[in-house]
Chains A and B, each alone.
Chain A
Amino acid sequence: MSKFLNAVILAVASLVGVAAFLYPFFVPQPSSATLGALSHAADAPFLFIVLIAICLGAILTNLQSRQINSKMIAVLAILTAVNAVLRAVPGPAGFAAVFFLPILVGYCYGATFGFLLGALSLLVSAFMGAGVGPWLPFQMFATGWIGMASAWLPKMRRWPRLEVLVLTGWGLAWGFAFGAAMNLWFWPFTFDPTQTALYWQPGIGAIETLKRYIAFYVITSFWWDLGRAAGNALLLLLFGAPILRLLRRFQARFQFRVQPLIG
């Protein structure tokens, strides 16, 4: 029951998160071109940043009630630190190895673990100098999803070659999906009501918005994301198998239990 409710909470919070990411696609046409309606469109981004922060709070609070133990905290903290350091290592063309570890850990240790690793390592790396800002809740959510979704891949332990190939493709796909999702938080900030090729306007409908967004994405960030996605996929291809072996070995080692002698 409790486990089921945890899954429900994660699912509902993710649903709210998706809505907060995708709101440019469904905000309706203001009833008339008055100043009031325009200003309403302008505060939508602000409201959704608040909403997404509340969602993160709810997920992290829920963690608490499930009697999280010291082992999970210790492993999460260490892996979070490793991932934050990995992100800080400068690569060519904006490439940073953020997805590599959340994908492997989510695949190996499960959805909650993957989500927390993704979300918290972005928080730590923001504190380390990548910067705390309005984009942070969105980044935390998006990276958390990567870790969470990786747990849903079928377990292919018996076919190691296939496993690595699937994970590589997965990393490539997420590289682009992450970039496309992360543009969304600031895209509406740049809307200009008369620029009809690239920018968002409230109420133009989902299809039209999608068309403009694709144009915007291809022009502004496709090449940037290409580097990042390819880099992460390459890391997964080369290092996926040994790191997976390592994670599995430690999974067995973390099964120790404490038996109190007194009381």
Chain B
Amino acid sequence: MFHPIAWSLWVVAAAMPAMLTQNPLYLSIICLAAGIVYATVRHTTPLAASWNSFLKLGLTLLAFTVPINALSVHAGRLVLFSLPPSWPLIGGPITVEAIIFGVSKALSLFTLLLIFAVFNCAVDQSRLLRWTPAFLFEAGLITSIALTFVPQMLRNAQEIREAQIIRGHRFRGLRDLLPLFVPLLTGGLERAVQLAESMEARGFGGSLESLSHGREIAVKVATAAGLLGLLGGFFSATYFPDRRALSWLLLLPSIGALLFVFRVQSKRVHRSRYHHDTWQRRDTVLAAVSAGLALTLLLVRAGARSLLTYYPYPPFSPWPSFNLWLGSAFTLLLVPALLSSFHPPRQPLNSLVAGEP
């Protein structure tokens, strides 16, 4: 399919509007687009089965929250009918506004679920992990070792189980988990000792430049100060929304400090690549469209915020407004589905090699 970076950009471009707007018209466009993309990527992985059930859970959530919202919120002018006011909680007028708002809330959560379902089905995790930024390389390394060990772990569990069955051990209750779990953990830790030894033998960490003592202290102080500044900036932005200068004065230097830290840490790592990912023209198209959409959305947010907001209760109109430009911009989220239907994906290189006699 697409390059993991291109997919990540698509997820950002899709999840941002899904979280930032409450307008049910835009939300349904995004939801529909994500649904169509999901339908095209669904077949590529067995993981999709678990996501299908996840999405069903989302649908039941929708089926519950909409009536609850409609029954318990009694604001609004467009009254459908009234329940006797003596009934606790649900007594009172039932309004169209409450139904619409409930639908748009549930729709935004469901759309988010759908977008991440696409991401989980479409992106190859090991390819994604290869793109871990250099300043996170250790965390990425631990994650990829763990991911490669998981199948081995499951096989070990099965072997232990078989050995127990041969000896007539029967599984009766929770207590019988211990004879399974202890050998599993012991075996795993034994393997960790071996792994550590072989990493040492191959000179792991040798290509890592160590920081000088002063620089290390500077990096740590910059990290702590950057985080504190970020926190302060967020607080001042929420508590004193009028004093924009103060918030930016706190936020910009702390973002700068964190970027400095990430840069220093990245420079220490020299990585070589064994496997080269191919970046095709379709990836460029998807990345460009997604980045453009995300940028547009940020601009709309900064300039014409009211285009995105929606609030059905009085004094505002219950009917959502619709901007044709913005609405059609959201249909751009369909690009992955369109591209993969017009150009079937190229055969990956290693499968061609494997096919040769």
Name A's B-contacting residues (CB within 8 A).
1-2, 5-6, 8-9, 12-13, 15-16, 19, 23, 26-28, 31, 35-36, 38-40, 42-48, 51, 54-55, 57-58, 60-65, 67-71, 73-82, 84-85, 116, 120-121, 123-124, 127-129, 131-134, 186, 189-190, 192-195, 197, 234-235, 238-239, 242-243, 246, 250, 253-254, 256, 258
Contact = CB atoms under 8 A, between A and B. Distances in A.
Contact of B217 (A5, A55, A60): A5
Given A197-B72, A243-B182, A58 B125 contact: no
A240 B261 CA distance: 40
A164 B116 CA distance: 40
Interface in B104-147: 105, 108-109, 112-113, 116-117, 119-120, 125, 135-139, 141-143, 145-147
A190 B305 CA distance: 21
Contacts of A35: 305-306, 309, 311, 316
Contact of A189 (B108, B147, B228): B108
> Most chain-A Cβ atoms within 10 A of its Cβ — which of B74, B117, B136, B224?
B224
Contacts of A8: 220, 224
A193 B105 CA distance: 12
A12 B228 contact: yes
A132 B15 CA distance: 13
B195 interface: yes
20 contacts: A2-B220, A16-B231, A43-B20, A58-B223, A65-B265, A70-B196, A74-B192, A81-B149, A82-B153, A131-B116, A189-B108, A190-B105, A192-B73, A192-B101, A194-B75, A195-B69, A197-B89, A246-B182, A256-B197, A258-B200
Given A9-B223, A39-B309, A64-B137, 19 more contacts: A27-B238, A35-B311, A42-B22, A46-B20, A54-B258, A74-B199, A77-B141, A77-B192, A80-B146, A85-B154, A120-B146, A127-B125, A127-B143, A132-B120, A192-B102, A193-B311, A193-B313, A197-B89, A250-B189
A243 B183 CA distance: 10
Interface residues of B, number: 99
Contacts of B261: 58, 61
Contact of B258 (A58, A235, A254): A58
Nearest to B105: A190
Instruction: Name the prevailing secondary structure of the A interface residues.
Output: helix
Contacts of A238: 174-175, 178
Interface stretch (B47-55, B329-337, B345-353): B47-55
Interface stretch (B33-41, B204-212, B273-281): B204-212
Interface in B220-262: 220-221, 223-224, 226-228, 230-231, 234-235, 238-239, 241, 258, 261-262
B74 A194 contact: yes
Contact of B143 (A68, A80, A132): A80
